[in-house]
Structure 1
Amino acid sequence: MRKKVCMFVWNHFTNDARVLRECTTLSANGFDVDLICIGDKGLLNYEEHNSHFKVYRVRRYPVSLQLLQKVYRGFAKRKLVAVLALTLLAYVYPLGPLLTLLILLLVKTKLSTLWIRGSIFTRMVARGFLKNYNFYHSNDLNTLPQGFVCAKLRYKKKLLIYDSHEVQTSRTGYEGAFHGKLEAFLIRKVDSMIVENHTRAKYNEDLYGFYPHVVHNYPFKLDDKIVKKAFLHQILGLPKEEKILLYQGGIQTGRGLDKLIMAARLFREGTLVFIGDGRIKPELIKLVREMNLEKKVKFLPKVPLEDLPSYTQNAYLGFQVLNNVCFNHFSASSNKLFEYMMSGVPVVACSFPEIKHVVEGEKIGLCIDSHNHLEIARAVNILLERTYIHEEMKRNCLSVRTKYNWEAEQIQFLNVYQRTGT
C-alpha cells in the first residue's frame, strides 16, 4: 500500500528544482505526494504532475484585505474625499475611530504582511489536515511550523521531516534572533532532518547536537540526445561565434552580480548574459547603462526549469560567484554549479569550501575571490585565451556528471524516508 506524503514549500513552485526532484522521486517509489505551495494570479490552484504527485496552491492574499486596499486606493486618488470619508467614519459610528485606525494600519504598515503570511499559514495547515498522511515534509523554516502543527498537534502523531535548503540561523533576510529561536524550538520535534552538504551538517551538529542526513543538490542527468539547444545567439542578436559568459539563477543581493558587471568591461571577448529575475535586476540594468556596457551585458527573463538546459548549453563558461555575506552563502553547494557541469560548461566560482571541493577537485573550473572583480576578470580571460585549459575542463565536466546527478543521489533521499518510517 502506498504511503501518503504532505509536503510544504513557501513559494509558487514554478522554479524550485530541488522540491520537484524530491516529489518526483517519491511518486515513482511507492508514495503518493501532495505538495502544498502558494498561489497567485495566473497560476493554477491544482496541478497533477502524475497520478501520484499533485500540487495544491493556497490563496496568497485574503479577500478582505484586497477589498480594503482597493477601497483605500480608490479614495486615495482624491485626497480630500479620503480625508472626509475617514473623518465621517470616525465620528458617525461608535467604533469609527478604532475602525479607521485599523484600516490605515492594514493598508499602510507591515501589519498587512503579517495578515497575508498568517492567512497563507492557516490555509496550508487546513489543507494539510484534509487527508490522513503518513509523512509531513517541511521545506525550510518558513514551513516547519505548518508541518509541526499538522504532524504533532493531533491525537495520533505523524512523522515530520525537516528539509532545510538553507542555513536558517545565518541567512540573508533572516537577521535577528527570532528565526534561530523558532528553529531551536521546533527542531526537537522533527523525526528526521535533511541538509544539502556536510559543511552544513557539521554546523547543525555544533548548534543542536545531532548530525542530519545529507542529500546533495544535484540535478537530473542530462540526455544530450533529447535536449535541443535554444537559439540563444539569435535571441540576443549575437554572432554565432560570440562566446556567451553565463549567469543563470536568481538576481538577488549577495550573489556577486555587481562584481560580474564591473569585471565585464575587462573581459577580452565574449558577452555576459544573465538569465533570471529578482529584486535587484533593475539596479543591475541601471549599472550596465551607467557603465555603457549595453553591448557587452545582456539580460533575459527566467525560463522554465525544463527548458533551462537548452539555454545553458550555449555557454562558453558559467558563473557561481556568491559573496561571503553569511554562513548560508559560505557553506553553499549551489544547484547551478552542477547544472553548468551537466551541460559541459566550465565555471568561474567562489572559493568557498563545498564549491571549491568540487571545482578544483574535479578540475572543472577556476576558483577566485568573488569579492574582487579583477580576479573574476583574470580567471575569465585565462579561459578565453588558453583554450586548451577550457577544453580540458569541458571534458572533465562531461566525465564527472555521471557522479553528480540526482539519479544517483536520490538513493540517499529515499533512505531518509525508509529510516524515518521504520
Structure 2
Amino acid sequence: MKVIVSAFSNLYTDQRIEKVCETLSKEGYEIFLIGNDWGGAPEMTRNYPFKRIKQFSKSLKTAYPEFNWKLYGELKKVADVDTILLANDLDALLPNVLISKKLNIPLVFDSHEIYTEMPAIQGKFTQKIWRYLEKKLLPNLKYMMTESQSYAEWFSVKYSVKPVVVRNIPRKFETPAEIPLNHPKIILYQGAINQSRGIGQAILAMKYLEGVIFKIAGDGPKINDYKALVVKENLSSKVEFLGKIAPTELRKITKTADVALSIEENGGVSYLYSLPNKVADCIQARVPLVLINFPEMMRVYNQFKIGEIVENHDPKNLAEKIKIVLQKGRAFYQPELEKAAAELCWEKEEPKILALFKKVVAENF
C-alpha cells in the first residue's frame, strides 16, 4: 500500500514527519514524501523516496498558493487508487482533499498544531483565509491525528472530529553515561526562534544569574531581535546563539545542559495547548526543565516531577526557578526523568499510528 506524505516543509528538521514515515515504512507501507525548498534544501537521506518542490516565491503570501498549486500537480501524477494520502498541517490539506475526492482514496490529516491560532498570524487577514479553509475542510475529515490531548479536545468541540492523539516525542535514548560538571552551568533553549517562546524574558533573566551561560539552539525570524537585545543589555558573555543544528547534533548538545527551558507564552490556543517537542527531547536526555504552567506541560509535570513550574514570564521569577534547578542539580531529578523517559517515547506512540492506518486500509481497500 502506497502512502504519499506531504507538507509545506523542507523536511530536513521535521522530526515528526521523519518518525511517522519511518514507522509506516517499517510496517511495509510504500512511502513517498513531498515537501518543498522554502528555507533551503539541505542535503538529507531517507530510506524511501522524497521530493522537494521548487519554490519561486519570495514571501509566504505567495509561497503558500504556489506550493498548494504545485502539490496538487505532484499528487495528481503519483497518486492512484491504491494510495493513502497523509497531509501534514492545514497549509498542505486542500490539494490532498481535492485529490482524495478525485480518485476516491482515503486521506489522513496530521495537524501538528492548531494552525489558525498560531501567534504569527493572529489578527492578520491571512488568519481569516486559513480559518475559512479549516471550517470548510475539517468537518468532512474521517481520519485525523494531532499532537496533544488538548488539541484533540479543541478540534472535537470545534468541528466534531475525533483525532487520534500521537504526541511528537522522540525514540528512547540510552541513559547518558554521566552528568557533566559544567562551569559555567548551561541553560538551554532549543527550537524555533520566533515570537511567543519566552526567549526575550529568558535572556533578561540572565541578569539575575551568575556562573551561567544561556545557549540558544535554533533559528528563526526573531533571531536578530534577540541578538540585539543581548547587546543592548550587555549580556554577550552570558548568552550564546548556536544557530540551526541538525537533529542528531542537537541531541548531543541537549545532553550537556544543566537545565532546559520550555516557557512558551499564551499567544493563542495553538501554543497554550501544545506539548513542545523539546520537553520530551530533554526528558530523553535526562535534563530537568523549567516549564510554564500550560495544560499539556502540567499534564506531564503532574505525572513526573521532571523540573520546576513557572507561573509567569517575569525575568526575576524565571531566574529564581532556574536557580532552584541548578541548586538541586541534575542528579536530584534523575529518578523522575528516568520514569518519564520510559513513558514519553515514540515507541509508545507507534501503535496508535499503525492502528489508525490499519483501520484506513480495512475500511477503504
Q: TM-score, normalization: structure 2?
A: 0.91
Q: What is the aligned partner in structure 2 of residue 23 from structure 1?
A: 21
| Contact preservation (8 Å) 1:11, 1:38 | yes
Q: What is the aligned partner in structure 2 of residue 200 from structure 1?
A: 151
Return the alpha-carbon distance in structure 2 between the equivalents of residues 256 and 334 of structure 1.
Answer: 13
Q: What is the aligned partner in structure 2 of residue 394 from structure 1?
A: 334
Q: What is the aligned partner in structure 1 of residue 64 from structure 2?
A: 117
3-state SS of 1:319 partner: strand
Q: Aligned letter for 2:335?
A: R
Q: What is the aligned partner in structure 2 of residue 305 from structure 1?
A: 247
Question: Which runs of 5 or more residues in structure 1 are unaligned?
Answer: 67-111, 234-238
Once the two structures are superposed, what CA deviation does each residue of 1:77-100 show, in whole Å capped at 9, x if it has no partner? xxxxxxxxxxxxxxxxxxxxxxxx
User: If you compute each CA radius of gyration, which structure gives the higher value, 1 or 2?
Assistant: 1
| Contact preservation (8 Å) 1:330, 1:352 | yes
For the pair 1:49 / 2:79, whether they are aligned, the reply is: no
1:139 to 88, 102, 105: 88
Q: What is the aligned partner in structure 1 of residue 98 from structure 2?
A: 149
CA 1:354/1:36 → structure 2, altered by over 3 Å: closer, same or farther? same
Q: What is the aligned partner in structure 1 of residue 2 from structure 2?
A: 4
CA 1:414/1:147 → structure 2, altered by over 3 Å: closer, same or farther? same
Question: Following TM superposition, by how much is the alpha carbon of 1:369 offset from its aligned partner in structure 2, in angstroms?
Answer: 2.2
Question: Following TM superposition, by how much is the alpha carbon of 1:350 offset from its aligned partner in structure 2, in angstroms?
Answer: 0.5
RMSD of Structure 2 on Structure 1 (CA)? 2.3
For the pair 1:174 / 2:116, whether they are aligned, the reply is: no
Q: What is the aligned partner in structure 2 of residue 13 from structure 1?
A: 11
Q: What is the aligned partner in structure 2 of residue 35 from structure 1?
A: 33
CA 1:274/1:39 → structure 2, altered by over 3 Å: closer, same or farther? same
Higher relative contact order, structure no. (Cα contacts within 8 Å, ≥ 6 residues apart): 2
Once the two structures are superposed, what CA deviation does each residue of 1:352-385 show, in whole Å capped at 9, x if it has no partner? 0110121242000111024222221110111222
Return the alpha-carbon distance in structure 2 between the equivalents of residues 40 and 182 of structure 1.
Answer: 22
Return the alpha-carbon distance in structure 2 between the equivalents of residues 41 and 163 of structure 1.
Answer: 22
CA 1:113/1:312 → structure 2, altered by over 3 Å: closer, same or farther? closer
| Contact preservation (8 Å) 2:171, 2:346 | yes
Q: What is the aligned partner in structure 2 of residue 374 from structure 1?
A: 316
1:292 to 213, 234, 237: 234
CA 1:356/1:150 → structure 2, altered by over 3 Å: closer, same or farther? same
3-state SS of 1:367 partner: strand
For the pair 1:404 / 2:353, whether they are aligned, the reply is: no
1:258-407 matches, within 5 Å, as 258-387=200-329, 390-407=330-347
2:171 to 190, 196, 220: 220
CA 1:124/1:206 → structure 2, altered by over 3 Å: closer, same or farther? same
3-state SS of 1:349 partner: strand
Question: Following TM superposition, by how much is the alpha carbon of 1:42 offset from its aligned partner in structure 2, in angstroms?
Answer: 6.0
Q: Aligned letter for 1:214?
A: V
Question: Following TM superposition, by how much is the alpha carbon of 1:224 offset from its aligned partner in structure 2, in angstroms?
Answer: 4.9
3-state SS of 2:115 partner: coil
Return the alpha-carbon distance in structure 2 between the equivalents of residues 9 and 256 of structure 1.
Answer: 27
Return the alpha-carbon distance in structure 2 between the equivalents of residues 324 and 393 of structure 1.
Answer: 27
Q: TM-score, normalization: structure 1?
A: 0.79
Q: Aligned letter for 1:19?
A: I
Return the alpha-carbon distance in structure 2 between the equivalents of residues 60 and 34 of structure 1.
Answer: 19
Residue range with higher mean Cα deviation, 340-349 or 156-165: 156-165
Q: What is the aligned partner in structure 1 of residue 56 from structure 2?
A: 61
Residue range with higher mean Cα deviation, 211-220 or 138-147: 211-220
Question: Which runs of 5 or more residues in structure 2 are unaligned?
Answer: none
Return the alpha-carbon distance in structure 2 between the equivalents of residues 116 and 356 of structure 1.
Answer: 37
